[in-house]
Amino acid sequence: MMTRTLVKLVAITLAVLFGGTAVDKLEHYALFSSQLQHFPFSIRLYKQAWIIPVAEILIAVSLLLRVTRVKGLFASLLILSLYTLYLTGKLETRFYCICQCGEPFQSLTLRMHIVFTLGCLLFAGVGLVLSARATEPSSADRGTSPFDPTYHEQIDTSLIKSKN
């Protein structure tokens, strides 16, 4: 019970993070697209910059729905990993521009932003591990043995033994 509550808390926190940053990127789309255009690597994503906030909104929605929560946590890990690499690339190339991640995060330095993103990455990983524990049945639910019964123990042989 407690594990499911923690997973739900992780999912809601990440959904608020992704949803908030996606809305802010869409509100300031021209600036966000311009920042992608000036990134020093040869990634030409600025022409389809709308893909990033739409993906963030889809991840936020998947985190809020119980049936897609695990997929949302996996997607969160992927997006946060890519974003950490993006920020590290900005650090290594000495490329700097104001972050377009939302009002509370604009005051962070680039290094602080990387640390925050790594913390979110760890948070999503913990949520994924806890969700795996919450979904697997306990040995009490399965019976006394932690192992499933073998195939031949599951076969109903009562009709074979009767002499009708």
What are the tens digits of pLDDT across the range 98-152?
556 656 677 778 888 889 999 999 999 999 999 887 766 554 555 545 555 555 5
Contact call for residues 7 and 69 (beta carbons, < 8 A): yes
What are the tens digits of pLDDT across the range 16-47?
999 998 998 889 888 887 777 766 554 666 56
Task: Tell me the percentage of the chain whose pLDDT exceeds 70.
Answer: 66
What are the tens digits of pLDDT across the range 67-113?
999 999 999 999 999 888 888 877 766 655 555 665 667 777 888 88
H or E segment to which residue 155 belongs: none
Residue 34 class from Cβ within 10 Å (0-12 exposed, 13-18 middle, 19+ buried)?
Answer: middle
Two structure tokens written together for 112: 């602080």
The ranges assigned to domains in the chain are: 2-136
Exposure class string for 71-105: b at 16+ Cβ within 10 A, else e:
ebbebbbebbeebbebbeebeeeeeeeebbbbeeb
The predicted model scores a pTM of 0.74
